[in-house]
Amino acid sequence: MAKSRFEEYHHVTLPNKHRINYPQLLNPFTVDIVFSPLRSIKEFVQLETLVFDNMNAKYFDSILRHLASFFKLQSLTINPVVHIQDSSLFVSSIISFTETKIFSIEYFTIKTRFHCPPSNNLLSYLPRLRYLSIDCLDGTDFTETEFYPIQWKTLKHVSLELEAVLFSRFEPMIKNFFYYIETLRFTSKYETTYLDSEVWKELIPNLLKSKCHVNYYPNVTQLTITHDSDMSSRAISTLLNRIIPLEKLTELVFTDFIHFPFEELIQLLYRTVNLYTLKYEFLCLKEANLESIQRSDILQQASKKNQIRFRSTKKLKSRNETCSFELVCLRS
C-alpha cells in the first residue's frame, strides 16, 4: 500500500487505538503514521499480536522501551532493517515486563541477525512462551554464559538458524531450556559437530525426555547437502548412514561445497549403490594422490556398483580429480 493511500486511514486508526489488537506494519512509513508521536504507543492497550517488518532503526529502540505498555501482548514478531547488535537493550525491554507483572508473550519471533544466545535473563521472564524462532543466531561474539535450568512446560516449539555457534555453546541451551519441547528445528553454518550422530545419541534420550524420539528416516530417497566450510575429518558417509539408509538414495545434490575430500566422495558413492542422479553446483575437491586412488579397491568397486545415469554440474574445481570422478560416474 502506498503511503498516500495509507494516510487516508488516519481517521480510522487514530480514534480507535484502544481497540486495535493486531497491527501488521509491513512498511517503514507505517510506523511513522501509526505510532506518531512515539509516546502514543501506550494507547494501544488491546494489542495481542504485533508484527514489525522492515522497521527503521530510529523506531526500534523506542518501541522496545514501550513493550511493557502492551498488557495483553501474546505474539511478537520483529524484523528491523538493521541487525540487533545491542542485545542488552533487547533483553532489558523484556525484563521490564516484570515491573507491571506482565508475562503474556507466547509466540516470539526475531527475523534478523541476533548476537545474544537465549539466556536466563531473557527466557526466565517469559514463562508462558510456547514458540521461539530466531532467523539468524550469530555466535561470533558469544561470551561465556552461565546457564541454570528453566524447565517450564509451555515451550513446545523452537526454530533456530545458527551461524558460527559452536556445539559446545548450543548444548547448554538444550540442556537448560528445551526439556519439554516437542519440535526442535535448526540449521547450522561453520560448525560440523552437528553432523556427529554420536553427540545426539547421548543428548536426546537423556535431556529431551518428554518427547524422546531419535529420528531415523528409513524411507529417504533424495538428499541435498549444503555446507560452506571445511568438512570434518570424519567420513560424511558414515555420519549420514546413521541417519538415513544410503543404499536407498536415488538422487544426491551437493550445494556450496568447499574443499570436499575426494576419498570421502568416493566412499559416499560406493555406499549409494542405487544412485541415479547426481548434482553439484560447486564442488571443490581436496588434492589427493590420484595414482593411488585409481589403484584402490574402493574406487574400482564404486565404479562397478554405481548406477548413475544423469549428472548435472555447474563447476568442478581441480582438473586431476575431475578425470577420476568421470571414471566413477559415467558408466555406459
Reported as a single tens digit per residue, the pLDDT across 260-271 is 667 777 788 888
Confidence of residue 239 (pLDDT cuts 50, 70, 90): confident
Q: Is the pLDDT of residue 159 over 60?
A: yes
Q: 108 pLDDT band (50/70/90 cuts)? A: confident
pLDDT band at 131 (very low <50, low <70, confident <90, very high): very high
What would the mean pLDDT of 5-21 be, rounded to a whole number? 63
Mean pLDDT, range 207-213, rounded to an integer? 51
- Dig out the grid coordinates for 232 from the structure: 570434518
Confidence at residue 207, expressed as pLDDT on a 0 to 100 scale: 60
Find out whether 35 and 9 touch, Cβ atoms under 8 Å: no
Residue 71 confidence class, pLDDT cut points 50, 70, 90: confident
Grouping H, G, I as helix, E, B as strand and the rest as coil, residue 204 is helix
Judged by DSSP in three states, 259 sits in: coil
Question: Phi and psi for 278 in degrees, rounded to 5?
Answer: -125, 125
Determine phi and psi for 9, rounding to 5 degrees. Answer: -90, 5
pLDDT of residue 214: 46
Order of strands across the sheet with 183-189?
A: 24-25, 49-55, 75-80, 107-114, 131-138, 157-163, 183-189
**What one-character-per-residue DSSP string does 107-176 give?**
EEEEEEEE-S---HHHHTT-TT--EEEEEEEE-TTPPP--------S---EEEEEEES--HHHHHHHHHH
Query: pLDDT, tens digit, for every residue of 276-286?
Result: 888 876 655 55
For the chain, the straight-line distance linking the first and the last C-alpha, in angstroms and rounded, comes to: 58
pTM: 0.57
User: Can you list the domains of the chain with their CATH numbers?
Assistant: 3-207 (3.80.10), 222-329 (no CATH)
Q: For residue 125, what are the CA distances in angstroms to 121, 132, 252? A: 7, 14, 45
- The residue-averaged pLDDT of 140-165 equals 78
Amino acid at 221: T
